[in-house]
Chains A and B, each alone.
Chain A
Amino acid sequence: MSARTTFFWCIGAAAMAAGLFAVGDHVRDRKDRLAELNRQVLAERERIQVLRSELAFLTQPQTLEFQNARALGLVPIEADQLHRSSFLPARPASAPEPPRTGARAGRDDDPTSGLPTEPSSRLSLAPQTGGRQ
């Protein structure tokens, strides 16, 4: 084996060693990054778990009752406010078709039915939102 061949083999070996080193170093960096991400995930999970626990503490029924009495004054729903859907009467066969315009039609149970009509500028938006004139 000539000196030149030996030289090229040495250069090749050195280049491969350097390449191998670079790849190994890159892999190690990636693994460190993965470990860091895992640590972050675990830390986030820990924080989420703590937040869930705090939420559960803060939404204890007695706490909600106290806060409601202090700030809101809401009252529990009464039994006569509950009805089954079967309680609703069936629509009569002769009932007119509901209007198909974009404008809202007043209904007996619509709390806004007695209010002044909406501004025409809003009604004019109906065709653009898919309504039919």
Chain B
Amino acid sequence: MNPHRSASPALALARTRLAFGVLAFFASLALLSIKLVDLGTLAEDRPPAAEMASSEHPVKRGDIVDRNGRLLATSVVSRALVAWPPHIDDVEAAAVRLSGAMPWLSFEEARQRLSLKRKFVFVARRLTPQDQKAVLNLGLPGIGLDPEELRIYPHGQLTAHVVGRTRPGDDGPIGNAGAEQRFNAILSDPTQSVQLSIDIRVQHVLREELARAVEHFSAIGGAGLVLDIRTGEVLAMVSLPDFDPNRQSKMDESQANRASLLVAEMGSTFKLLTLATALDRGVSRLTSQYDASAPIRAYGHTIGDYRGQNRVISAAEVVVHSSNIGAARMAEQIGAETFKEVLDGLGLLSRPALELPEVGHPIVPRTWRPLTTMTVGFGHGLSVSPLQTASAIGTLANDGVAVPVTLLRRIAPPPARRVFSSDTSGKIRWTMRQVVLRGSGSRADSAAYPVGGKTGTAEKVVNGRYDPKKRLSSFVGVFPINAPRYAIFVMLDEPKARKETHGFATAAWNAVPVAGAVIPRIGSILGVPAAGPDSDAWMQRIVPDHLLSRLFKDEEA
């Protein structure tokens, strides 16, 4: 047997195996090379870095600013304490360490959150930088920090009812009150912001003076408004008691917005509307006489005066001396249909279109009886909001032109609609000024700005009956009345009498002084120059001095 021949198959086998081995090696090397080139040049096995960075930004809500650009609501980035329970080895130990690092977080609460059978849970929100550092230092597996949007309100309670508040949502905060709720869709775009008509300086003055009065007169609440009657912009809106929107606490009914949501019988401030309607429709003149010598007995009810003149009085005196009897007779003369038409034109019979969710519907009697016309004449039987009242009186003073109220800063000229003639507006402004000069509004007058207005004190309805101990006292004024620009409304809810008010708890003693304190302070802020010594000269054009004796009995004396 040839040994070469016998060795040849083994050698051939070895060569074949070697060839396969070399081939496999080079094939693997080729595959690795291809993969290397692929990874280095072509592969995109991670998201584009720029997109990844931009998607991390957690702030998804725009700002709310006042008319001068001052920040009222904004968002900053905070961190939440989050957990991935399946990745936590020892829940008890993790809870002990977390509660140890952050004493405000109880062990029980931490353990309960970490024990949830979910992939991901929020343990706590709004961590301070110190807490964030403590969590990172613990280095617990399955525990981490997650950026979240924190909504903050730099002015806190000052703008609470206007700006509103938010609640946490899956995709950032969601507005659930005030402008935050009304403009939620716009604010959900972080590139958008909402500019309100509010002036934070005017808001501060109004809230400060109103809060002082609420405390001084032990009232259960109060409301205040300042409107620009030419543009319809709300410059200030205050309701007390208020709340801090920075704290997520539950609101109670007493914290509702009294300026726009509350509807109530406004009382004697309505007498201005009655007089305006009577003058405008030719039913009455300022000199027209009304018998207020005795209470009216009509339709089973008695209408009397609070401090009656007990004589025949002029139409001007009906307002200046606030005669319910005279106003009822005047309303009766006007007639139900005409009166309702004018009230509707002033927006008092429908919900105002203010940009807030908290706007009340007026309570209009289902059946408008003849007695209703008489009682509405002096502000009873029809419940409206302070916002509606201020807007209606603003229309009277604004040359009789109604401008829709708005909470947004108005750039374009507002839509305007004439409700009363210019002549009627002048006579009403004259009457409002007389209320301040010789009536119940004297404490609202200012040395710098002539004010016109009207007080109203209405008893609240409790269990279907008027309660003489529970009153809403209010004052609505316009300044400067010689060139009307701003309307102010002040209301105190259940103010109490004090020694210096001689036992009275009426608007003349508590609401009017608030307006008297606010007007000089905000006048200079709003850039209104002081009126000169002849600021009341315009009144001569409405009623010359020599005719005053025909309007006012006391002028004869």
Chain A residues within CB distance 8 Å of chain B: 17, 20-21, 23-25, 31-32, 34-36, 38-39, 42, 45-46, 49-50, 52-53, 55-57, 59-62, 76-84, 87
Q: Which residue of A lies closest to B57 (CB)?
A: A42
Q: Which residue of A lies closest to B63 (CB)?
A: A52
Interface size on B, residues (CB 8 A): 40
Q: Are A79 and B71 in contact (CB under 8 A)?
A: no
Q: Are A34 and B49 in contact (CB under 8 A)?
A: yes
B413: which A residues are within 8 A, CB to CB? none
Contact stretch, chosen from B36-44, B361-369, B503-511: B36-44
Digit string of B48-64 for contact with A (CB within 8 Å is 1, else 0)? 11101110110100000
Q: Are A49 and B201 in contact (CB under 8 A)?
A: no
Q: Are B56 and A53 in contact (CB under 8 A)?
A: no
User: B524 contacts the other chain (Cβ, under 8 Å)?
Assistant: yes
Q: Which residue of A lies closest to B71 (CB)?
A: A56
- The 4 A-B residue pairs with the shortest CB-CB distance, nearest first, are A35-B49, A79-B448, A56-B154, A61-B204
State the Cβ distance, A60 to closest chain B Cβ, in Å. 6
Given contacts A31-B50, A49-B74, is CB(A24)–CB(B155) below 8 Å? no
Q: Which of B443-483 contact A (CB under 8 A)?
A: 446, 448-449
Chain B residues within CB distance 8 Å of chain A: 37, 40-42, 48-50, 52-54, 56-57, 59, 70-71, 74-77, 152, 154-155, 158, 200-201, 204-205, 208, 446, 448-449, 520-521, 523-525, 527-530
**In the complex the two chains form, what is the Cα distance from A84 to B204 in whole Å?**
26
Given contacts A49-B75, A56-B74, A56-B155, is CB(A39)–CB(B41) below 8 Å? no
Q: Which residue of A lies closest to B204 (CB)?
A: A61
**In the complex the two chains form, what is the Cα distance from A24 to B36 in whole Å?**
12
Q: Are B41 and A21 in contact (CB under 8 A)?
A: yes
Q: Which of B42, B155, B205, B446 has the most CB of A within 10 A?
A: B155
Given contacts A21-B37, A46-B77, is CB(A83)–CB(B529) below 8 Å? yes
Given contacts A20-B37, A24-B42, A49-B76, is CB(A57)–CB(B154) below 8 Å? yes
State the Cβ distance, B516 to closest chain A Cβ, in Å. 14
**In the complex the two chains form, what is the Cα distance from A75 to B348 in whole Å?**
41
A59: which B residues are within 8 A, CB to CB? 70
Q: Are A50 and B76 in contact (CB under 8 A)?
A: yes
Q: Are A52 and B74 in contact (CB under 8 A)?
A: yes
- 28 A-B residue pairs with CB within 8 Å: A17-B37, A25-B40, A31-B49, A31-B50, A35-B49, A35-B53, A38-B53, A38-B54, A42-B57, A46-B59, A49-B74, A49-B76, A52-B71, A52-B74, A53-B152, A55-B71, A56-B70, A56-B71, A60-B154, A60-B158, A61-B158, A76-B521, A77-B524, A79-B523, A79-B524, A79-B528, A79-B529, A79-B530
